């Protein structure tokens, strides 16, 4: 029987996806795309476990990378019958690298996919607005893996910890987020370390977080943003240099700094409107534990100063993307200009 696929107007969620897999409902075509690669990786792993039985992988699993293959190879694999198994699983990672001809072949295949294969296409570059996604989505189980908002991360931490057989307090989850940031990959890595530390399945406490990740707090992008917003010149430069040494993306650092000042600006607007504190966190889409920090930082800036800082951020972004100037120099110059403007 042909697996019913979602219509373009229907929203297929991650919750729907896992519920279907638990019921043994596996679609012939999945489309996982968006910025949050960790969520995409989790979904790919889930399909792999659900679609193949032990021993099936040797003959019925094809894995391709967009920059190393073409549409013909992918479609040929997907059209091949499984060998002594219910289905063949074909996984294509980073399919945004495929050329137009290859993508056209995939579109033709998507209109009438093999019912004895499961084709998974993944991309961390495409968004729901991308042309190829709009064309493929009506024929697939399509899920956009968006980055979580600040206030969604603690719930994810709790869920991820619970899947491993542990519990975690609200305070410990917030402290973990404050120390590590919003990267689900990094959060999962730190939870791995905590799991090694714990002798038994028990509640993860604030003390556990401090023991494992507390020492790294000074060198994450969130602490960098706090130092800049707090006008701590030496600390800002020290953390910036360390982040770059650790391989952080200069563009990523700039994006997070822009986001930080955007939240501060909106915080200032909410204060002027007389918005109740209880409503602010939801409006800002941040964890309520961070609200006092933003309120305190926003008091240090006038509106015109914030507008000037956004102009400096825009100029730095242009330099990072178009100039031959070294990224470190661009970001250091940005900091000096920000501190000179206030």
pLDDT at site 115: 96
Q: 299-336: per-residue pLDDT in tens?
A: 999 999 999 999 999 999 999 988 888 999 999 999 99
Taking 60 as the threshold, does the pLDDT of residue 217 lie above it? no
CATH numbers and ranges of domains, the chain: 14-144 (3.40.50.300), 150-217 (1.10.8.60), 220-340 (1.20.272.10)
Taking 90 as the threshold, does the pLDDT of residue 203 lie above it? no
Q: 245-259: per-residue pLDDT in tens?
A: 877 788 888 988 999
pLDDT at site 218: 58
Going by pLDDT thresholds of 50, 70 and 90, the confidence category of residue 7 is very low
pLDDT at site 1: 35
Residue 201 gets which letter from DSSP? S
**In the block, residue with structure tokens 């997907």:** 78
Both tokens assigned to 124: 């961390």
Nearest-angstrom CA–CA distance, 296 and 192: 34
Nearest-angstrom CA–CA distance, 58 and 66: 21
Q: What is the mean pLDDT of residues 162-189?
A: 86
Average model confidence (pLDDT) for the chain?
Answer: 89
Burial class from Cβ neighbours inside 10 Å (0-12, 13-18, 19+) for residue 247 reads: exposed
Contact 71, 100 (CB under 8 A): no
**In the block, residue with structure tokens 């729901």:** 128
Q: 41-63: per-residue pLDDT in tens?
A: 999 999 999 999 988 888 999 99
Q: 17-34: per-residue pLDDT in tens?
A: 999 999 999 999 999 999
pLDDT at site 9: 41
Q: What is the mean pLDDT of residues 293-303?
A: 93
Those residues whose C-beta lies under 8 Å from the C-beta of residue 21, and which sit 6 or more positions away, are 46, 47, 50
Of 227, 240, 229, give the one whose Cα is nearest residue 326: 240
Taking 60 as the threshold, does the pLDDT of residue 4 lie above it? no
Percent of residues, the chain, with pLDDT higher than 90: 63
Q: How far is CA 206 from CA 168, 203, 242, in A?
A: 9, 10, 26
Q: 112-142: per-residue pLDDT in tens?
A: 999 999 999 999 999 999 999 999 999 999 9
Burial class from Cβ neighbours inside 10 Å (0-12, 13-18, 19+) for residue 191 reads: buried
Nearest-angstrom CA–CA distance, 312 and 244: 20
Taking 90 as the threshold, does the pLDDT of residue 181 lie above it? no
């Amino acid at each position: 029987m042909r697996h019913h696929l979602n219509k373009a107007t229907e929203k297929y969620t991650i919750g729907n996806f896992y519920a279907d897999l638990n019921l043994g409902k596996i679609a012939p075509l999945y489309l996982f795309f968006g910025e949050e690669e960790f969520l995409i990786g989790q979904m790919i792993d889930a399909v792999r476990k659900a679609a193949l039985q032990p021993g099936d992988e040797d003959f019925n699993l094809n894995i391709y990378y967009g920059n190393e293959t073409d549409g013909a190879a992918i479609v040929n694999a997907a059209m091949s019958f499984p060998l002594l198994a219910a289905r063949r699983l074909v996984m294509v990672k980073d399919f945004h690298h495929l050329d137009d001809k290859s993508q056209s072949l995939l579109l033709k295949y998507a209109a009438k996919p093999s019912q004895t294969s499961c084709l998974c296409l993944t991309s961390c570059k495409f968004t729901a607005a991308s042309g190829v996604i709009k064309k493929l989505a009506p024929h697939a189980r399509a899920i956009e893996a968006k980055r979580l908002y600040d206030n969604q991360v603690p719930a994810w931490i709790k869920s991820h910890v619970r899947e491993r057989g542990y519990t975690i307090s609200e305070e410990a989850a917030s402290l973990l987020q404050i120390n590590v940031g919003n990267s689900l990959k990094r959060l999962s890595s730190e939870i791995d370390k905590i799991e090694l530390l714990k002798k038994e399945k028990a509640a993860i406490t604030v003390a556990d977080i401090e023991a494992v990740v507390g020492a790294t707090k000074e060198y994450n992008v969130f602490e960098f943003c706090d130092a800049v917003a707090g006008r701590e010149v030496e600390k800002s430069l020290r953390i910036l240099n360390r982040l770059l040494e650790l391989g952080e993306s200069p563009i990523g650092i700039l994006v997070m700094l822009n986001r930080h000042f955007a939240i501060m600006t909106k915080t200032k607007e909410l204060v002027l409107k007389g918005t109740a504190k209880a409503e602010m966190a939801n409006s800002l889409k941040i964890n309520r534990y961070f609200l006092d920090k933003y309120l305190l930082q926003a008091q240090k800036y006038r509106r015109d100063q914030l507008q000037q800082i956004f102009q400096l951020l825009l100029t730095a972004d242009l330099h990072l993307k178009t100039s031959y100037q070294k990224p470190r120099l661009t970001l250091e110059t940005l900091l000096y200009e920000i501190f000179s403007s206030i």
